[in-house]
Chains A and B, each alone.
Chain A
Amino acid sequence: MAMPQMSPRSSARMQMWCLTPATVWLGLFAFLPLGVVITISLTERGSPITWAFTLRSYARLADPLLLTIVARSLWTACATTALCLVIGYPLAYFIVQRRPPLRTWLYFLTLVPLWTNSLVLTYAWMVLLRVDGVVDQAARWLGWLGTHDSLNWLYTPGAVIAGLVYWYLPFMVYPIYGSLEKYDWRLFEAAQDLGATRVVAFFKVLLPLTWPGVLAGGLLVFIPALGNFVVPQFLGGAKAALIGNVIQERFLSQPQDWPLGSALALVMLVLISLAIWAYFRFAHEGDAVG
């Protein structure tokens, strides 16, 4: 008897019934809105939508103040990604080398902040860093600081990066842990047997083979870090605004400027697309090496 198979026609009908609802939903609420953003970015500034088409919003992006903010956002997102990698890779490596019950627990412990409300996480840093906060009190108790002095760490660029690293570290650990877990450790030992020191074996054998995990982690941190406006708002103060803050203000605070906000959002999407393009390029190069 032939293998039981659905007729092609009924299979096509099932495909339609199963996929149509989600397709329609995502078309209406994920893709159509993107088209709206592009359209609005091309309209004239006015309360809040004026139907006259112009490229002026894009010309206004050349404002030195805005360019500074875009550059600062890029730098902040890159620094966050780099720090997450420097802390996250050795952490994932440490966890992978433990024995199972401890390993599972340590891994779970790195993920808990991922499931914690991110506003709560950021607020916790305000409690730590603010004037007379926990860090100030600890420094005074240790005698590093006078009774009425403050380290004034809140509302600095460093506080923003700390808050972002805190928020996104699990996103870096997760894929790196995944690739280390799948890694064939005999290769690492073989390299050592052939005379490589552990440091050399790490850079020549382990790192190249876990590179896809590193790149995936980098992408998962860089993309959301670039658009984050909560951390700079809570921990950065007025002088540390990032792209996300400008977009949020242009949409929700007076004076509203939806075309400029939309254009900025599209600039952010272009930067992110570049990052994704780089990811696929380098991930495939990694395949060729491995």
Chain B
Amino acid sequence: MAKRSQAQVTYVRRGILDGLIAPLLALNALLAYTFLYLPIAVLVLFSFSSSRYASIWGGFSLEWYAKLFRNPDISQALLNSLLIAAATALIATVLGTLAAVGLERFAERRRAAQYDAALTLPILMPDIVQGISLLLLFVLVFNGVERALDWRPTLGRTTVIIAHATFAISYVAVVVRARLSGMDKRLEEAAMDLGANEWQVFQRITLPLIWPGVLSGGLLAFTLSLDEFVITFFTSGPGATTLPIQVWSMVKRGVTPEINALSTLMLVASIALVTLSVMLQRRR
């Protein structure tokens, strides 16, 4: 708020509660940040403790990280997660970018509004409903395939990739559209005027200009896929354990410092990815 001159201040009526507002706001902020960061800080702290118990300090140690790196389940889960995230990012970036360009540049207004509603469905739909609905679809398709070919496909990395790409398309489309709407249309029109056809304009003008948006959309899809748990839970099979699924099954077996170490690494990876994405979005 702008500073008032002394003369103005005299006109402002002060309520009884007014003097309390600023300290209360500061206190609320302090408590809120403590609430947000204390659990994370404690989690990270105890990943470096030598104690067997995840909440008792036993002196500094890296043994839980060492144990983590020797665990073959973890490296397999990491590999699965990275493969799934890469494939998801690829599919979602291509389909989401195309949809964004189509909506922002070629669709009529009414059509675009209907399409917008369809695109927000995967963002608004609770993940558990997306998970069970895809599980049901896959099982029905598998039943059909089994009857026709006498061979039954199973839930695995492919089904998880399909599920992740479905919600990631919408997020990529939102990010790329934001970039497109801030872009000068006249550049494309000038290219048209100089005799380029639509594909040439798309390839040589539109795509290079929206590239930072496309990259950050792809990175967002990658990050979302890495972190996704609920939809994966319903659409993955025994051979397609991802890191969050691994965390889930470890926690169900009991709280251990090894989970703290894994969580800490996932935390660091997420923060790194987000920072990268923010930097990409800021690039002009």
Judge whether A127 and B55 touch: CB under 8 Å.
Answer: yes
Give the contacting residue for A251; candidates B18, B96, B107, B234; CB below 8 A.
B234
Judge whether B36 and A113 touch: CB under 8 Å.
Answer: yes
**Size category, A interface:** 35 or more
- In the complex, A116 has a CB within 8 A of chain B: yes
Judge whether A251 and B135 touch: CB under 8 Å.
Answer: yes
A96 to B128, CA, bound (A): 35
Which of B65-73, B146-154, B165-173, B208-216 participates in binding chain A? B165-173
| Secondary structure class of chain B's binding surface, majority of residues | helix
CB neighbours of A120 from chain B (8 A):
43, 247, 263, 266-267
A269 to B99, CA, bound (A): 26
- Nearest CB in chain A to that of B136: its residue: A36
A179 to B7, CA, bound (A): 31
Give the contacting residue for B32; candidates A6, A91, A125; CB below 8 A.
A91
Sample (25) of A-B pairs whose CB atoms are under 8 Å apart: A4-B189, A10-B197, A21-B95, A36-B137, A87-B28, A94-B26, A112-B274, A115-B270, A116-B267, A117-B244, A117-B270, A119-B229, A120-B263, A120-B267, A127-B43, A137-B55, A192-B13, A198-B18, A198-B21, A223-B126, A229-B230, A230-B229, A230-B230, A261-B132, A268-B129
Q: Report B's interface with A, CB cutoff 8 A.
A: 1-2, 4, 8, 11-15, 17-18, 21, 24-26, 28-29, 31-33, 35-40, 42-43, 46, 53-56, 94-96, 98-99, 101-103, 105-107, 111, 115, 118-119, 121-122, 124-130, 132-137, 139-140, 143, 162-163, 165-166, 169, 173, 189-190, 192-193, 197-198, 202, 223, 227, 229-230, 233-234, 244, 247-248, 251, 255, 259-260, 263, 266-267, 270-271, 273-274
Given A3-B189, A33-B130, A90-B29, 12 more pairs with CB closer than 8 A: A17-B98, A19-B107, A30-B125, A106-B29, A115-B227, A119-B248, A120-B43, A120-B247, A189-B2, A197-B17, A251-B132, A265-B133
